[in-house]
Structure formats: structure tokens, C-alpha cells
């Protein structure tokens, strides 16, 4: 039986680089620091899951959550890639990526335009989560990853909804982070050009929550939403 979402493998300080996790371009931007990888993953909640289906590459944008050294991804049981994870033996080979854009780097030359970013790439084999308790815990983690505290403030999925939901697990083993920070890297001979250069910061922001028109009278805005 699979382990539960409460008992992931214990971490150490860094992931071991592999041929697939060492970038061929700008390898100095790569990091295998476990704490950095976790921080990048925990700040986002949309990933891109890549796999091969019927001989063609496919990339699926979807929600995910990290529980220790595991990532959980969910979707409909009608989703072909999630079905494939349950049908493949010993699982579905995948590549999962997460990216934050932190700034637009505008140089004097078009060639040196860039972005400041933080990204994580995970290679591995995804497995269908079939243990009911692990599945429930994984779905709670997915809800709380997007809005911390929300799973305790909503009705849990019933048997029919659980049957219609697929969850796959991907262990964090073959992992790397890659990031760019800092300013413009123009050529010395371009520094006198009359073009504005610098960094435009990019930040995520939440708007004021908009209540559903059918909200029950007296239902107040929960504290975990005001904290956003």
C-alpha cells in the first residue's frame, strides 16, 4: 500500500544533480538546495506537467501541492494523462515545472533583454494515489496550498466526488531550481546609447474578495482571506 500524505521521505540539505537536472545553458544559475526548491514550489500553485501520450509530447497546466518530499497533482478521472498514471507500469514518466516571473529586464540592446525568474523542474515517475486516506489528505493539501485554512472551512468531498477525482503523486528526487536575479547585462559599448534600461518588478497581488450573491445571511469574511 502507498504511504500517506503525512509520512513523506525525510529530506537532507540538497538534491543530487543528474544529467537531466544540470542545464546546458547558464549552469551557474542552477541550484539543488532543498530549502530553495521548497520555497519556490510553496509560493506557486499552478504547474505544467509534461509527459508523452501516444508518441506525442503533451503539457498539462494544473494545480499541485507539496507535502514534504512529494508533490500531489489532481484532475478529473476522465483526464487521459491522469488515467495513464494509473494504467502505466510502474507509473507515468513525467516532467513537472513551476516558474515565477519576478521582473522584466530591459536592456539597451534587444539581445540582452531578459527576465528575472525562479523556476523548479522535477523529473520522475508519477503514480496514481489509490489509498483513500492518502487521497483525502492530498486533496486537503491542494485546497490549503491555494488558500491556507480553506479545507477546514468547506465541505469535504463525498464518495461520488472522490470517485470522480484523480490524484497522482510525484516524489521529489530528481530536482533542480534555476533562477536569474539582478540587473541589466549590456555590452560596455552600448552603455552610452540613449535607451532606458533597468528592471520592471513583477509581483502577484490579490484583490478584495467578492462575496457570492447567494451567501447565507451573517456569513462573515474568514480571517484567512483577510490575511491574503
pLDDT tens digits along 186-216: 999 999 999 999 999 999 999 999 999 999 9
3: number of CA atoms within 13 Å, CB side?
A: 14
> What is the pTM (predicted TM-score) of this model?
0.88
Distances (CA, A) of 67 to 42, 137, 145, 146, 191: 10, 10, 10, 13, 47
* pLDDT score at 82: 67
pLDDT tens digits along 31-88: 999 999 999 999 999 999 998 877 888 899 999 999 999 999 987 776 666 666 666 6
Per-residue confidence band for 91, with pLDDT thresholds at 50, 70 and 90: confident
Amino acid at each position: 500500500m502507498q504511504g500517506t500524505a503525512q509520512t513523506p521521505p525525510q529530506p537532507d540539505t540538497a538534491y543530487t544533480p543528474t544529467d537531466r537536472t544540470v542545464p546546458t545553458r547558464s549552469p551557474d544559475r542552477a541550484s539543488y538546495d532543498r530549502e530553495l526548491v521548497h520555497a519556490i514550489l510553496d509560493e506557486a500553485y499552478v504547474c505544467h506537467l509534461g509527459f508523452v501520450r501516444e508518441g506525442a509530447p503533451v503539457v498539462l497546466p494544473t494545480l499541485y501541492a507539496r507535502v514534504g518530499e512529494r508533490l500531489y497533482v489532481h484532475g478529473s478521472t476522465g483526464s487521459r494523462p491522469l488515467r495513464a498514471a494509473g494504467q502505466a507500469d510502474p507509473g507515468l514518466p513525467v516532467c513537472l515545472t513551476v516558474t515565477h516571473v519576478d521582473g522584466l529586464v530591459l536592456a539597451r540592446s534587444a539581445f540582452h533583454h531578459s527576465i528575472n525568474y525562479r523556476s523548479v523542474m522535477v523529473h520522475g515517475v508519477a503514480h496514481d494515489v489509490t489509498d483513500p486516506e492518502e487521497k483525502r489528505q492530498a486533496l486537503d493539501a491542494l485546497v490549503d496550498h491555494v488558500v491556507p485554512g480553506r479545507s477546514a472551512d468547506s465541505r469535504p468531498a463525498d464518495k461520488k466526488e472522490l470517485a470522480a477525482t484523480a490524484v497522482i503523486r510525484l516524489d521529489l528526487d530528481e530536482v533542480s531550481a534555476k533562477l536569474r536575479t539582478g540587473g541589466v547585462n549590456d555590452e560596455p559599448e552600448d552603455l552610452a546609447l540613449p535607451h532606458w534600461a533597468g528592471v520592471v518588478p513583477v509581483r502577484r497581488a490579490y484583490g478584495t474578495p467578492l462575496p457570492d450573491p447567494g451567501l447565507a445571511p451573517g456569513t462573515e469574511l474568514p480571517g484567512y482571506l483577510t490575511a491574503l
